Amino acid sequence: MGIKLYREPKFERPIMVVGWPGIGNIGLIAVHTLRGVLVAEEFGEIEPWDFFYPRKVSIKAGLLKDLEFPSNKFYFQRIKNQDLIFFIGEEQPAEGGRMYATGGKAYQMANLVLDVGLKFGCQRVYTSGACVSRIHHEMKPRVVSVASSEKLTEEVKKHENTILMSEMEGGEGEGIITGLNGLLLAVARKRGLESICLMGEIPDWLSGAPFPYPKASKSVLEVFANILQIRIDFSFLDNMAAQIERIIESIYEKFPRDIRERYDQRKFVVQAKPGAITEEDEKWIKEHIDELFKKGGKENGEKPV
Amino acid sequence: MEKSLFEIYQSPKLQSPSLIVGWQTPDIGKLGLRVINFLNEKLEGREVGEIRPSGFFPLAGAAFRDDLIQFPESKFWACEKNDLLLFKSDEPRYDRYKFLNIVLDLAKYNCKVEELYTISGTPSLTAHTTPRRILAVFNQSEFQEKLQGFGLENMTWEGPPAISSFLLWVAKRRGIPGVSLWPEVPFYLAAKEDPQAIKLTLSFLDKKFNLGMDLRGLDLEIRNLNEKIAQLRNGNAEINKYINQLESGLSLNEEDQVKLAKEVYELLQKRC
């Protein structure tokens, strides 16, 4: 079980930005896009075989050529006076068909990522993910954050369109950030690093959707751009968001009118509690959600991305 | 190696054996199970060790199949006269890389294994009356050359790997020459047994290791199976048509494949 570094770049107090798949792939897409925009260069990986079953074998003329595993790669870039280390994991090391990492493997993976950060003098780590909330899908998702210290929460809430988790409508001040996008923050704190999670809002009824939610990824990316004081061309994410929006609209149109009317009240205020949408409405959406996704896809010629 | 993960009952007297691995679940045409059991019986295999299931298999309850309680097993037998080490196991569900390394650690360091053979059936869109082939995948070209002349056919494929391919890859990384044998099993026999594929595999091993095994008992099984399916064909025109198509080298659509597989499964499930 190990880390493989192809080279050892010289870093000066780098910050680390980490992404794994999660709800709507909000964090992963944001981190992946940022890495692409900054043309960060690959410099290492975590060997995958202890964490993952291979997903592909290549056999030619009776010879085993190779096995392909989900990748877990490190990248680096320097912008202005800020050094950056990226880590992007294509899968969370989950067992028994779960989507999110749990237990010993997750803890090992989190520590290996941080081993690399600490080796190069990293003091701060960012992860990103989704915050399931009662917003309307036409609203701009906010970025909800938690951090490892009060000083950091003060810092992070200065960014536009950002709120703290405790400021969320109906927030009870405690909860869990599932999987490695959460666990890494805790392990980082334990090992003396500053850690911040930036979570893009996703409407509750879309949290199980089989497609990404790039609109929230864009919100997260805007915060990263602000933190790093860089300009980013969002056209790629805008195009992707527009495609997804069409799928979502086609599903939304199939809601019964009374549920749609109540749901539309979310446009004016984010609901802290069920409020405008009744518990019966929620039950109806949950019971019909799979069917609605199928219909939405078929009738509009769209496929899950 | 963590000693709590395995147990060696007794040190086998082996010189430079080959390791033959069969997976009993999943097991297309019961090939892995039957081949290892047959070798064990004929070559007087002696149980020498096991890998413990904890950490590799879900132990939250007990599975059952055909009214019988199942428990995951991963055991080694030594056939000392023939210098062979046999390993029969259920496919691990967790920590598979670690499990496969333990298999090779025990084989290499406790039993001095030099070569690896894995046995797994592969479903094929062919009729049961057609001669079977053994498709092969090697992890070293030198080993591939060494086994030329044994009637193995080279496989070419890309897709999700089976546990045998994962083991072969781990062996390659450790410099252990290996081959995965993939005897063809007509798809409609995949859920039951294919004595013809079993016999073909055993014939290969018999020839490769000069085992001098009597395989005639399998001919009776082959004849019985063929007769049962012949009776089904006589009484069921649709099934006869499907098998005729396969015998003519034509394929079947998915619906017809399911019908054929279901009929044959039910036929072979009946108690005599």
Cβ-Cβ contacts under 8 Å, B96 against chain A: 53
Distance to chain A for B155, nearest Cα, Å = 5
What is the predicted pLDDT for the residue at A300? 33
What is the predicted pLDDT for the residue at B248? 95
* ipTM, two decimals: 0.91
pLDDT tens sequence for chain B (272 residues): 677 899 999 889 999 999 999 999 888 989 999 999 999 999 999 999 999 998 899 877 777 777 778 789 999 999 999 999 999 999 999 899 999 999 999 999 999 999 999 999 999 999 999 999 999 999 999 999 999 999 999 999 999 999 999 999 999 999 999 999 999 999 999 999 999 999 999 999 999 999 999 999 999 999 999 999 999 999 999 999 999 999 999 999 999 999 999 999 999 987 54
pLDDT band at A278 (very low <50, low <70, confident <90, very high): low
CB contact under 8 A, A67 and B94: no
CB contact under 8 A, A63 and B58: no
Distance CA A238, CA B8 (A): 61
Q: Which of B136, B138, B169 sits opposite A67 (nearest CB)?
A: B169
Backbone angles phi, psi at B31, to 5 degrees: -70, -50
Residues of B with CB under 8 A from a CB of A: 58, 93-94, 96-98, 136-139, 141, 144, 152-161, 165-166, 168-169, 172, 180
What is the predicted pLDDT for the residue at B181? 98
Which of A1, A4, A47, A49 to substitute to test the interface with B, most B CBs within 10 Å? A49
Phi-psi region of A179 (alpha: psi -120 to 50; beta: other; left: phi over 0): left
Q: Checking DSSP bridges between strand A63-68 and strand B178-186, what pairing results, if any?
A: unpaired
The single residue listed with the structure tokens 């028994």 is: A96
* DSSP letter for each residue of B7-18: EESS----SSPE
Assigned CATH for A3-299: 3.40.50.10900
Paired tokens of B220: 């009776």
CB contact under 8 A, B169 and A59: no
Q: For residue A63, give the chain B residue with the closest CA.
A: B138
Q: Which of B93, B96, B155 sits opposite A62 (nearest CB)?
A: B155
Hey, CA dihedral for B94, B96, B100, B102, is it positive or negative? negative
Least confident of A43-47, A76-80, A300-304, B30-34: A300-304
- C-beta separation of A68 from A58 below 8 A: yes
Cβ-Cβ contacts under 8 Å, B104 against chain A: none
Element (H, E) at A126: strand A124-133
Cβ-Cβ contacts under 8 Å, B152 against chain A: 62
CB contact under 8 A, B166 and A53: yes
Residues in CB range of B130: below 8 A, 6 or more apart: B186, B246, B247
What is the predicted pLDDT for the residue at A95? 65
CB pairs under 8 A between A and B: 65
Distance CA A79, CA A17 (A): 14
What is the predicted pLDDT for the residue at A290? 66
Distance CA B243, CA B222 (A): 17
Q: Angle A201-A206-A209 (CA atoms, 0-180°, nearest 5)?
A: 125
Distance to chain A for B21, nearest Cα, Å = 17
Distance to chain A for B228, nearest Cα, Å = 35
Q: For residue A50, give the chain B residue with the closest CA.
A: B97
Question: Residue A48, preceding bond cis, omega within 30 degrees?
Answer: no
**CB distance from A96 to chain B under 8 Å?**
yes
| Higher-confidence position of B138 and A157 | B138
CB contact under 8 A, B172 and A54: no
CA distances from B202 to B20, B77, B82, B213 (A): 11, 17, 14, 9
CB contact under 8 A, B97 and A61: no
Residues in CB range of B255: below 8 A, 6 or more apart: none
CB contact under 8 A, B160 and A56: yes
Q: Which of A49, A59, A95 sits opposite B157 (nearest CB)?
A: A59
Cβ-Cβ contacts under 8 Å, A57 against chain B: 157-161, 165, 169
Name the percent of chain A in helix, strand, coil, to the closest 5. 40, 25, 40
**CB distance from A65 to chain B under 8 Å?**
no
Q: Checking DSSP bridges between strand B74-79 and strand B84-90, what pairing results, if any?
A: antiparallel
High-pLDDT (> 70) share of chain A, %: 85
**The pTM is what?**
0.86
Q: For residue B97, give the chain A residue with the closest CA.
A: A50
Q: Name the β-bridge partners of B159.
A: A57
Asked: is B3-215 a CATH 2.160.10.10 domain? The reply is no
**CB distance from A57 to chain B under 8 Å?**
yes
| Higher-confidence position of A177 and B234 | B234
Domain ranges of chain B: 3-215, 218-269
Note the pLDDT tens digit of each residue in A23-33: 999 999 999 99
**Amino acid identity, position B80:** E
Note the pLDDT tens digit of each residue in A234-277: 999 999 999 999 999 998 888 888 888 888 888 876 555 544 56
What is the predicted pLDDT for the residue at A298? 37
pLDDT band at A80 (very low <50, low <70, confident <90, very high): confident
**Amino acid identity, position B31:** L
In the predicted structure, residue A153 carries a pLDDT above the cut 50:
yes
